Structure 1
Amino acid sequence: MVFISGQTPRQTEGQRLSEASFEIQVHQTLANLMAVAGARGLKPDDIVNVNLCRHTDCGEFDHVYRDYCKAPSVAGALVQLSFIDFDVEVDAVLLDPAGAA
């Protein structure tokens, strides 16, 4: 298993997208997550946990998530994260099909 935590909507140059729309923040966060996971040959279908700041964002997150993953919605947890500057943070556990951790 591979554990990736603390993925937020930051661009590769370090620019924080905290003022961007929720949809843009989700796209950037998932792109960041998949860059890390992809380096291990892992795919979006293996994401199992997501933290969001507001429960009202769940539907919109799922809509964007489907652009990355065709499997059913991720099993997730809604956690109040009022101490971060972003509307989304993703922690993921991914199963490595090669069996290497």
Structure 2
Amino acid sequence: MTNKKAIKTDSAPDAVGPYSQAIKVGNLLFTSGQLPIDPSTGQIPQGTISVRAHQTIKNLAAVIEAAGAGLEDVVKTTVFLTDISDFQEINKVYEQYFARPFPARSAFQVAALPLAADIEIEAIVFIN
């Protein structure tokens, strides 16, 4: 049996289903996908994809920080977009939060995301 621990913080939105915000196993943290929900309002911010990308990464950072790590410890991200043409705009926001060496990353266009969001990001983090 694995020694897994659920990570929970009020600084990021609650899970919208039967899952944890993140699970820590040994030195690895696996986050659930974070949506651009403002935890103080429970709403997805209006405006550009950049506004929602900032909120998504802030939520991701809050979950990671609750586990005792930071964005600098992220080794892999997966970005889900409902419109892949937003990719360059997302990159501009992404590089404001992540530094070299950047985490490995995959990005996909998907048909839909929960709560009609247009971006979701999940991460794998190494906690030393």
| Residue 47 (structure 1) shift | 4.8
CA contact (8 A) 2:79 2:108 kept: yes
Q: Which runs of 5+ in 1 are unaligned?
A: none
Runs of 4+ in 1 over 6 A off after TM superposition: none
User: Which of the pair has the greater relative contact order for Cα pairs under 8 Å at 6+ separation?
Assistant: 1
User: d(CA) in 1 for partners of 2:102 and 2:80?
Assistant: 14
| TM-score for the superposition, normalised by structure 2 | 0.66
1:66 equivalent among 92, 95, 119: 95
Sequence identity (%)? 28
User: d(CA) in 2 for partners of 1:15 and 1:92?
Assistant: 22
Which deviations, in whole Å up to 9, do the C-alpha atoms of 1:31-64 show, x marking residues without a partner? Answer: 0010110112211121512223232222221211
| Residue 95 (structure 1) shift | 0.5
| TM-score for the superposition, normalised by structure 1 | 0.81
Normalized per residue, the structure richer in strand is 2
Q: Which runs of 5+ in 2 are unaligned?
A: 1-27
Q: How many residues align?
A: 96
In structure 1, the residue matched to 2:117 is 86
In structure 2, the residue matched to 1:30 is 57
Based on CA coordinates, which of the two structures has the bigger radius of gyration?
A: 2
Letter in 2 for 1:16: I
